[in-house]
Structure 1
């Protein structure tokens, strides 16, 4: 019951952001961006209403990926530090640091906030972490180069790319979240970089490592549905899972061209394109906000769901990844 209440509160607060940061504040919370400052070995908490640095936490070397939009635990992956840090997403208190990794790269948290999956590309593993107990409960051999991953909204499937230029995608059954098992592997016909399930779970979007398009496939069969024109590779993709009337839009970045586009996920039509700072690869959504971070310029860009730029903030020498929480 407590986890349900927390999830409901987060959903209500993020939904309130739909008309901007001020609305969220009036609803009893304000959006805060958690940014991995990779070269400073730190996680920053940035107030989106005013750009103020609220907290700075030192982490194991090379914090790359942060996942903080589900539940009350933030998961930060440090590749060169061979570690995964678990933090309270509101206070940024470090709860536990798990260190038995080769080169962990990316994490995904189940929609219920109870499980985290981390790819370890050196060991070729998918590592399962039970967030309640803060411990590793499973290591599944998936293949060398395990990298980007995405979890279905119903928590039953996980797709994983083997490499940043992946020619193999692994589909994993996560019906029993503590004992994932491989269902099959397939060649997507493109060099895949990032992956993302659509909010209805019917599609998986595969961004490219070497072309200016994103391939959309059917989740059940992996059958190609359509392609979306995009900027130079690699692209990254995000959806809005919290606000129902925004769930049929996808947001696609091209960091190497400094652009972000809003796409109708039902047919692949590009609806809007906006400039963002060069190096803005990673992105996230929260309510009516879209937020990108620039690995090259160290900037954080806050946009509306219509891709109107609200503010650009210089936050670090390099801002690798970003997640948004409500404080």
Structure 2
């Protein structure tokens, strides 16, 4: 059953009753619009918009963690960073405190410069802006809330942020064109896909070093880890395939081919199904991980970022070519509602 609400201000066309299975908030970074749309997951109703996050592509959070971490895909010069506009009603002292400058010894001097914004997950308030070495593609927050990480495609590495102090904590070199990042379930390691050399880097966070590389096809981009951290599913985007890798051995245990460019992917709650955005064929796919059977459903134009909302029957998929998010029933793969966004929907976050 679908309930319809008329909400012209936010552009919501319909609301699913099945969203009510999970109470929380969906955060949708709106790319070139420089904002993040907040949607109530219980009703599907937009509840606010976070402004002032320029070219926001990467967005990350974790259950029970009070912060969201938003990265800008735009580089700026040092003078512009120093002159970032002070929000109205904020004292100069507080404003200065909210723009943390990394220690000179910690930040590479031969990279670009961009801003990473730490947001209050409840209110959307920008708590701090942190200078990082270059444009940010994707971000991640560790399950224990200690760390955040951002990938720098033009800088061949990632920035580490200490969320206990909201300060820059260093740079780790990974490989050419790092794309996506995620943490292990115990927060001791992080994984980074390097599109430029077909590897998945494993990072030791205690030592803050690259500990090993796993081979991951020709051009790995998005990936998703199993909840136990033993398996990773990696999108080899241009090759049109998803690789299933065993983390311990690095062995490729399965390949799922789609014959067209891929983008986002995610696992269902029970991890029995893998969902994939087949961007180049205007389809969304569901892979039965027991049998290997693949279901395909038309979804046009250009399905892009994809998130399976935990605790619900909904799949959220953005379009690369139109300003909207599809809400899709995971069982039938049918579109049941759409949410209009400004700009482009990128790394979608769902928090309870």
Same-fold call, TM cutoff 0.5: yes
**What is the aligned residue count?**
295
Once residues 183 and 273 of structure 1 are traced to their aligned partners in structure 2, the CA distance between those partners, rounded to angstroms, is: 38
- From 66, 72, 76, the equivalent of 1:72 is 66
The aligned residue for residue 16 of structure 1 is none
TM-score, length-scaled by structure 2: 0.76
Provide closer, same or farther for how the CA distance between residues 103 and 305 of structure 1 changes in structure 2, counting only shifts above 3 A: same
Structure 1 position 237, deviation (Å): 1.7
Match of 2:209 in 1: 181
- Match for residue 21 of structure 1 among 16, 19, 37: 19
- Give secondary structure in 2 for the equivalent of 1:320: coil
- Cα offset, 1:227, TM superposition: 0.9
Q: What residue in structure 2 maps to residue 256 of structure 1?
A: 280
Residue 92 in 1 paired to residue 124 in 2?
yes
Q: What is the rounded CA distance, in whole Å, between the counterparts of 1:213 and 1:124 in structure 2?
A: 24
Deviation at 1:186, TM superposition (A): 4.2
State how far apart, in whole Å, the 2-side matches of 1:23 and 1:223 are: 37
Q: Which residue of 1 aligns with 2:349?
A: 323
CA contact (8 A) 1:96 1:134 kept: yes
Q: Is 1:122 the counterpart of 2:154 in the alignment?
A: yes
1:113 positional shift? 2.5
Matched, 1:145 2:177: yes
Alignment equivalent of 1:62, drawn from 47, 55, 59? 55
Separation in structure 2 between the aligned mates of residue 89 and residue 107 of structure 1, nearest angstrom: 15
Q: Name whichever of 43-52 and 309-318 sits farther off.
A: 43-52
CA-to-aligned-CA distance 1:221-242 (integer Å, 9 cap, x gap): 11110111336213322124xx
1:294 corresponding residue in structure 2: 319
Instruction: Give distance in 2, aligned partners of 1:129 and 1:54.
Output: 28
> CA offset at residue 219 of structure 1?
0.8
1:218-237 matched pairs, under 5 angstroms = 218-230=246-258, 232-237=260-265
Runs of 4+ in 1 over 4 A off after TM superposition: 48-51
Match of 1:14 in 2: none
Unaligned segments of structure 2, at least 5 residues: 1-16, 76-113
Write the distance in 1 (CA, Å) between the matches of 2:300 and 2:253.
31
C-alpha distance after superposition, 1:241-294 (max 9, x if no partner):
xx4xx2332211122323222223345332x33333423211112222221122
- Over alpha carbons, which structure has the higher Rg? 2
Looking at structure 2, the residues matched to 69 and 279 of structure 1 have their Cα atoms a distance apart, in angstroms, of 28
Name the CA shift for 1:277/1:75 in 2 (closer, same or farther; >3 Å): farther
Instruction: Measure, in 1, the Cα distance between the counterparts of 2:230 and 2:167.
Output: 31
- The TM-score, its normalising length taken from structure 1, stands at 0.81
Is the CA contact 1:59–1:85 (under 8 Å) kept in the aligned structure 2? no
How far apart in 2 are the matches of 1:90 and 1:255? 32
